[in-house]
Structure 1
């Protein structure tokens, strides 16, 4: 499935608002945390609540087997706090940060699934008419794109994403030929005639 980064932070906030308005608080906070952690969805959904009690999370990535340390920034901390408050209101004692609540009778602890999250994000994109193919992978790409345009060196993002080349990273975060062309158009220097 092709997924797009969200290049406008106002659109990221709009996705959060619409999910919250629909009563999908867990998914809204998952989206914000995902945009701030830049993890693959499989790694994100397996985070346990006990792992977010400090300022960093250490985990082993499923795909690469590499150990990864994530510093929890203020936006992610706020989202985690809102999520924990929501669980308390729901009388849920979660094992996972993104605990599925449908298995309470069987006392099974499972996180929500990527498929479920993808469905919610696609619905939000459609409702907001973003014109984007939005999925759980968009969170990771959105982190990369927004970090890059704010001045983070592509080499750091390359390391963060475990990409082999800078070009792979630029393509991954949605920096296209049109984006490069726009740099020329918007960087006109000299006297216009």
Structure 2
């Protein structure tokens, strides 16, 4: 059954009391039913009706609108987008790091909740760093007494300090995590405006530049890392999570596990990359992960970035080249070779072709049929 009317449930905090907010487009039938709910009131501040946050009130909402409107509770119930990661939760760096005197530390309960929610170690580091910057800005104020106006002022400071949109959005996420997830408070920050994402086109290298980049690596291990990032369209994290058994040479596929969005997928394996991998395996003898660092531990993200940067400088490539540039180049070159967009979507692990369509804006084949007016 399809419903024309949708009612979205929201967490509200009014005078330090928890309420269930009901957000919907005004409709006579829905308006009448909402006003029949027990203890219902209108909030000018939030521009919506609300009832006390109690189980019997929630049941009443569902019963009242059953068959009349769709009650959307995805913003109401606690959910996590975190992946079911297999990596070991590591916060040794948190306790061993050097910090300035009188520096305000992230609460221990913050770390415990991040571990419980299975956030990746990279996300943990980022959230802790950003949240500590936030609480040290309000050093003389109790964390739980920081209000929405304080948070808005802090975000304005980030904007005037020329912080990137991504940095500001991640800061908001780290702050929301404390108040909404750690403290279990209502969705008090949902009205905070986020900066719009800039729609930048991906940086893409030519095939000749890719070959030059691979040839400019320092050793066979580095060559295999660069080759796989490009020839299989892997994200850096996916490359580092690869285990020896994930390379399926009989089918010329790579099994990508624990990818973004907690999804597994297969992507293609290059014949040339496989030859180098076999020689690399004989020389380096990895034990568990395909690429390992000191004491057979998983290779670090920073090391991969340095390999790419060093190779790009050596190759004389002036573009800003990152591991993700190779993934962008992989997708663009497939598209230029006539590969169907749907197949590229599957190889990259995108949820929708809309995400993959960005490569149509940079693929050279998209412009080949257009004659330049200067040359006519």
What is the TM-score with the length of structure 2 in the denominator?
Answer: 0.41
Q: Note the C-alpha offset of 1:167.
A: 4.9
Distance across 1 between alignment mates of 2:348 and 2:268: 15
Q: Secondary structure at the match of 1:185?
A: coil
Quote the residue 1:82 is aligned against.
279
State which of 290, 302, 305 in structure 2 corresponds to 1:118: 305
1:3-82 matched pairs, under 5 angstroms: 4-6=203-205, 8-19=206-217, 22=218, 24-52=219-247, 54-55=249-250, 56-82=253-279
1:17-69: CA deviation from partner (whole Å, max 9, x where unpaired)? 111xx3x3211111111212212111111111233254333332331212212
CA contact (8 A) 1:33 1:79 kept: no
Q: Note the C-alpha offset of 1:151.
A: 0.8
Distance across 1 between alignment mates of 2:260 and 2:304: 19
- Residues 1:97 and 2:290 aligned together: yes
Please report the RMSD computed on the Cα atoms of aligned residues, expressed in angstroms: 3.0
Greater fraction of residues in helix: 1
Quote the residue 1:159 is aligned against.
346
Q: Note the C-alpha offset of 1:144.
A: 0.5
* Matched residues, number: 174
Q: Note the C-alpha offset of 1:11.
A: 1.6
> Gaps (5+ residues) in structure 1?
none
Q: Note the C-alpha offset of 1:94.
A: 3.4
Quote the residue 2:33 is aligned against.
none
> Gaps (5+ residues) in structure 2?
1-165, 167-199
Distance across 2 between alignment mates of 1:97 and 1:44: 8
Distance across 1 between alignment mates of 2:370 and 2:345: 24
Distance across 2 between alignment mates of 1:50 and 1:164: 26
What is the TM-score with the length of structure 1 in the denominator?
Answer: 0.74
Return the index of the structure with the highest Cα Rg.
2
Greater fraction of residues in strand: 2
Q: Note the C-alpha offset of 1:118.
A: 1.0
- Residues 1:184 and 2:370 aligned together: yes
CA contact (8 A) 2:335 2:363 kept: no
CA contact (8 A) 2:268 2:347 kept: no
